[in-house]
Each structure stands twice: as structure tokens, then as C-alpha cells.
């Protein structure tokens, strides 16, 4: 497979899967700067495994400032040594999430302050590789996008906050609206649970892994996390030490293999 690596600066770099060293759980790993020609303050924020560049598939991207962009996968099929522009970003904006789609999926885009918009990707017109995209969610002052996930019929939306709280909510609880609105309340933000750090589209038999700022990791069953409404603050999923906070959330599918729900 090719691994398309997307940086926060909107650049795309290519890797062959065999170029990534395989190692054990306790291994230090190899610095990404030794694998990709990253610039100063540039970091990888998303990656997509690709076997072939199908003409009927698209990449949908979301930025920190609430923009979304849809571009044909074929537009990214010609690699260059230093990478290519994947999305044109405004000043102080960053690329947050990328998903591969067949062109007809529904998405949920969520913000740090607990707002979310569910929209049909058909509302996002296709644009070229070197373009900014259109507004996906209208953000309040000091707010920014933390993630974008595919809305599925057999799954639900998991929301995790920085103080280790989380909850699951049915996608149907988020009314389908046109992109660009302020959205609806996704989770009740309080001093107890903290701001939102991640969202994930999960199924009942999946597991999730949470990683804290201090390097503590926990793996839990999704079925053990409360399945409740939008206007709630969630339940404790990970107990945090003083000064620590959740920084990363990863989904572990029930079959052990991360699948593209859109293929």
C-alpha cells in the first residue's frame, strides 16, 4: 500500500508501507522526520492507506478553523520528493482530519467547545487540489475543530474530553443540516470533564485506546461507555493524575483491522 501522509500545513507526502519499521510495543520507533521531508513546525495529522487511486473516490478534509474540502483522490496520484499541496490554508489554520469517501456519505464535524454539525457531503462541491474548500461549521470565539467522522447507520459517535470523560450518542440525535451552521450541542462542557479532545465513529463491539499527555495509555471496551444523549457531560473513562490530560484517542475495531467504512 501507499500511505498518504497529511501534515498540519496542508502538505501531502507519500510512503510505501514497507518503509515504516515494524517493532514491538516497547520499541522507541523511528522519527517521522527520518522518513518524510517535513518542514519546521510541520507534523503529520492524518494518513490514508491507498492500494490504487480509484477515479470514483474522494478525499474530504477538515481544518481547525472549520473549513471542509472535497477533492478527487486521483488528484493526489503523482508524488513529488518534497510532497505536494493537499489543501490551501489561511493564516493560523491547520489541517485536522482527512477521510476517503465514495462521494455520498454523511459526516459529523465537532469542536473543542462541544458543538457539532452533521451534514451530507453532497453539500460540499468538489474542488481542485490547490483550493481552500468551504465552511463546514461556524465556530464561536476561541473555538476550533477537533475532529470529523463518518456518520454510519450501525454506529454511534464517541466523544472524549481532556479530563478523561466520554460518552456515546446515536448519530440520529444530530439533525442533518446544511454545512456551515453553528450546529447543535454535542457534549456539556464543565470544569469537571474539560474540553473535547476527540470524536470517533464506533460500534458496540469495538475498543478504544486513550493516551495521556504524560504517556499513560488505557484500552477499554466501547460497550462499557455510557450510551446517552447529546446534552450530557459523559462518564469517567480514564482516571487522570493531577496536571495530566487526554491527548489522543484511537479506535480498535472488533476484528482488529481498521476498515474504511466508505469503501
pLDDT tens figures, 86-136:
999 998 999 999 999 999 999 999 999 999 999 999 999 999 999 999 999
pLDDT in tens, 129-167: 999 999 999 999 999 999 999 999 889 999 999 999 999
Contact between residue 245 and residue 215 where contact means Cβ atoms under 8 Å apart: no
pLDDT in tens, 213-263: 998 999 999 999 999 999 899 999 999 988 899 999 999 987 655 544 433
**Distance between CA 171 and CA 89 in Å, rounded?**
29
Residues 6+ apart with CB under 8 A from 204: 222, 223
Burial, 198: exposed, middle or buried (Cβ in 10 Å; 0-12, 13-18, 19+)? buried
Mean pLDDT score across all residues of the chain:
90
Q: What count of other Cβ atoms lies within 10 Å of the Cβ of residue 141?
A: 5
- How far, in Å, are 65, 107, 114 from residue 10 at the CA level? 13, 20, 25
**Distance between CA 203 and CA 105 in Å, rounded?**
17
Contact between residue 79 and residue 170 where contact means Cβ atoms under 8 Å apart: no
Amino acid at each position: 500500500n501507499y500511505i498518504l501522509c497529511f501534515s498540519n500545513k496542508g502538505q501531502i507526502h507519500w510512503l510505501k508501507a514497507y518503509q515504516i519499521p515494524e517493532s514491538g510495543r516497547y520499541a522507541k520507533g523511528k522519527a517521522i522526520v527520518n522518513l518524510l521531508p517535513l518542514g519546521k513546525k510541520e507534523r503529520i495529522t492524518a494518513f490514508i492507506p491507498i492500494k490504487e487511486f480509484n477515479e470514483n473516490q474522494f478525499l474530504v478534509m477538515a481544518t481547525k478553523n472549520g473549513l471542509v474540502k472535497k477533492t478527487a483522490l486521483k488528484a493526489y496520484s503523482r508524488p513529488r520528493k518534497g510532497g505536494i499541496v493537499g489543501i490551501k490554508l489561511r493564516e493560523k489554520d491547520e489541517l485536522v482530519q482527512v477521510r476517503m469517501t465514495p462521494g455520498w456519505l454523511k459526516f459529523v464535524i465537532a469542536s473543542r467547545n462541544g458543538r457539532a454539525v452533521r451534514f451530507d457531503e453532497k453539500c460540499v462541491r468538489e474542488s481542485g487540489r490547490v483550493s481552500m474548500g468551504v465552511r463546514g461549521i461556524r465556530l464561536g470565539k476561541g473555538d476550533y475543530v477537533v475532529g470529523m467522522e463518518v456518520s454510519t447507520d450501525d454506529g454511534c459517535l464517541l466523544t472524549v474530553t481532556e479530563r478523561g470523560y466520554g460518552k456515546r450518542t446515536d448519530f440520529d440525535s444530530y439533525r442533518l443540516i446544511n454545512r456551515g451552521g453553528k450546529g447543535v450541542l454535542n457534549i456539556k462542557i464543565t470544569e469537571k470533564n474539560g474540553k473535547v479532545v476527540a470524536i470517533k465513529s464506533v460500534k458496540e463491539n469495538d475498543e478504544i485506546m486513550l493516551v495521556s499527555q504524560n504517556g499513560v495509555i488505557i484500552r477499554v471496551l466501547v460497550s462499557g461507555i455510557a450510551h446517552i444523549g447529546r446534552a450530557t457531560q459523559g462518564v469517567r473513562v480514564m482516571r487522570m493524575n493531577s496536571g495530566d490530560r487526554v491527548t489522543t484517542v484511537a479506535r480498535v475495531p472488533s476484528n482488529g483491522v481498521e476498515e474504511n467504512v466508505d469503501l
